[in-house]
Structure formats: structure tokens, C-alpha cells
Amino acid sequence: MALESVGDLALNLILSKLEPEDTAKSSCVSKKLRSSASEETLWSRFCADELGLSQPIDPLGNPTPSFKICYQIWRKEFCIYPWSLVKRVRRCWDRLRSWLAVNFPEAGATLRKGATEDDIKELENALKVKLPLPTRVLYRFVDGQEFHGKDYITSVFGCPLGLIGGYIFYDQCVNVYMLPLRQVILETREIRRELHFPGKSKYVAVACSSTVDEKFFFLNCFNGQLYVGTQNLPHYGEMIPCVPDELIRSVHDCNGDQQQDATLLWLEEHVRRLESGIIKLCEYGNIKCISLFPEETPLCSTAITNGVKVRASAVFVPENANLKNDQEKYLFAYLIRMSLLPEGCIVNGMSFSSCQLHWRHWIIRANDTVTSDVNAEAVIGKVDRAGRQLV
């Protein structure tokens, strides 16, 4: 059958089964294929499937004349990176933006526009490092967060709009945000001086807490691992890896399609927990922020007695860890939440719309070993030393 006799609808269906690169190549075969391969419906689907775009816009958000031109601009803008990695990072940021738009638009408003290649080269020259490919692409889409004076509550609580979130217990408050590249340079230089890191250190600071309680995340630019500082960071440079080493692959290889460093894996897991409701937006008094205390099983234990729902969960506090202490290396904070079910508190067959906690007793175990036995008078509406919040 001659190609000219194939209907336009049939050609469009055939081309829609191809990859965008193959569709573009087919346009060189004949005028008829060139016409079919330029159909907007075809390229709008490519842009939607690969980039999540419903409108033809470039990487900076500017409109383009058509979806085909839009796709060409995106491919040209990210031509030095594996396209599979670009699509993966784009999906990660889109998922996070979508969650923020619905649940925490104040934090979404702090996201900066993507960095340019010149911005990245400036950082690499200033710090004498080469960023792993996945982290480079992450910053090409979003150059960290930027806060303004109105975003800060107090010097102690800092800004509660951090993408990574944190926790409040007793006198400790942590809320982690992603550093913009210019601040990565400043913070890394300062930390290198204070901690006496070598001038050619492979570590750069990529995230930290905005509060008075310090918590720093460092990216190893050589192997792509992400580390969080412990309480011994100022004295011994002690850090804990955030991701299993075996998951990190091809962080500087442009030829493969399996690139993933710890920063990308860490952010993807964070997004997954937000979307699944494992971690949620919480309010501590008048402070609204992302709380890292898990809200869903299996990371949160739940029991219901007489219409009262009790939830308990714990979070690792790495900045208070001490790997040199064999007896107490790690510190966890835990949170107890209590609430009434819609049917109320039921006692002796009678339903009550309210109840009061008079006494509390819970046993905390680690590896089947009892580490704490709390048996005392209730404290309503308080957050105490161990991170218990009773509401």
C-alpha cells in the first residue's frame, strides 16, 4: 500500500505509538508524514506524558507558539542531561508542587525559579566541586527556597515554611528548608572554616534548619551520598548517611539512564510520604508546618478504647545523635495524640461529647527492651521534653 493512500487519522495513530525522537525522524520521509508529524494533538500528548504540561510553555514558564516548539525548547535546554533523568526530576517537583498547592501554598510560594547552567558553574567554581547530575537537574527546576521577613515568626522558631519540615519537642524546634545555590556557597564556605574542612572538600551544604536549633544536610559531590550532621559535627565533623549506598548509581555518568543520587532519592521519598499522608501539615499553637512525626501505619501505632483514639509515633533526631557514645548513640522524639471519634466517648453504654485525661501510662521499647515507662499525671495541651503532645 502506498504511503500516500494511508489516511491522516491512521497516520496520527501510528505516530502516536512512536517516541518523540522517532516521530521527528519520520517527518523526513515524505511531505505527508511531515504534515502528520507536526500535528499539535501529537505534540501536546508528548508534552503531557513526558513533562506534565497542559499548556505550551518553556522551562521558565513563558508561553511558546506551539507544543512542538515547546518540546524542542525543553529538549534543547536540557540537552546535556539524560532525558530520562530530566523527566524523573520534573515529575518529582510537579508532585511536590501539587501537594503544596492544595495543602501548604505558603510554602509553595517560597520556591525559587530554576537555576541556570551559569549559576551551577559559578557554585562549582567557587566551591571547587562537581555536583552530581541528579542534584544539578533538581536545581535547574527549583533553585531552593527564599524567605522574606514576613515568613519568620521569631528568632527561635525561624521560618516554618521549610519543604522538608521538622518537629517541635520541649525546647527544641527544627524546620528544614532547601538552600538556594547562592546560600549553598555561603553556608558551605562558613562551615568549612568553622569545621576545618579541607579547602577542596567534596561536601556542600544543601539544606538546613531555619530555627535556632541547627540541623545541616551535606551532599558528597563525589559519590552522591547525602549526610546529616550529628551533635558531634562541630567537633569531629560527624555525620550520618541518609540513603543506603547501594541505591546510589551513576551520579556523574551522562550516558546511562539509571542516574540517582541521595538528594533525589531523599526528596522522592519525602514526596511519597506527603502524598500518602504518612507525614502531614500540623499546627503547633499558631505555627503551621510540615511535621515529620508519622501519622499512618506502620510508622504510627493506633489504638481505640471507649471511643478515644490514641496515636503514637516517633521520629529520629539525628542532630542530637552521638555516635561516640556506645550506650546512647541515637535519640528519638515521640508524639502522643488523642482524639474523640465522632460517636464520642462511650462509657457503660453512654456516649459523651467530651472527656478529660487524668492519668497516662505508656511503655516505650527499643528492640523489645523497655527504655522508658511513663506513668504519671496527665499534661493537657503540652509538648514536653520527650516530644509528647497531649491534645
Confidence (pLDDT) at 383: 42
Q: C-alpha grid cell for residue 2?
A: 502506498
**pLDDT tens-digit profile, the chain (391 residues):** 455 565 666 666 666 666 777 776 766 666 666 666 678 888 898 899 889 999 999 998 899 999 989 999 999 999 999 999 999 999 999 999 999 999 999 999 999 999 999 999 999 999 999 999 999 999 999 999 999 877 676 555 678 999 999 998 888 889 999 999 999 999 999 999 888 776 558 999 999 999 888 999 999 999 999 999 999 998 888 999 999 999 999 999 888 778 999 999 999 999 999 999 999 998 877 778 999 999 988 889 899 988 999 999 999 999 999 999 888 889 899 888 888 898 888 888 888 888 888 888 888 887 788 888 888 887 655 443 333 343 3
Q: How many CB atoms lie within 10 A of CB 324?
A: 12
Query: 157 with 286: CB under 8 angstroms?
Result: no
Query: 242 with 64: CB under 8 angstroms?
Result: no
Distance CA 45, CA 124 (A): 37
Q: Which amino acid is at 169?
A: F
Confidence (pLDDT) at 270: 97
Give the C-alpha distances (Å, rounded to integers) separating 332 from 202, 207, 217, 317, 375.
29, 21, 18, 5, 19
Q: C-alpha grid cell for residue 325?
A: 557514645
Instruction: Kindly state the greatest CA–CA separation across the chain.
Output: 87
Confidence (pLDDT) at 285: 73
**CB proximity list for 86: less than 8 A, separation 6 or greater:** 74, 78, 137
Confidence (pLDDT) at 358: 83
Confidence (pLDDT) at 389: 40
Distance CA 148, CA 30 (A): 56
Query: 100 with 107: CB under 8 angstroms?
Result: yes
DSSP 266-315: HHHHHHHHHHHTSSEEEEETTEEEEE-S--STTSEEEEEETTEEEEEEEE
How would you class 125 by CB atoms within 10 Å of its CB: exposed for 0-12, middle for 13-18, buried for 19 or more?
exposed
Between 67-77 and 40-51, two packed helices, what is the crossing angle to 10 degrees?
40
Distance CA 301, CA 311 (A): 6
* Total residue length of the chain: 391
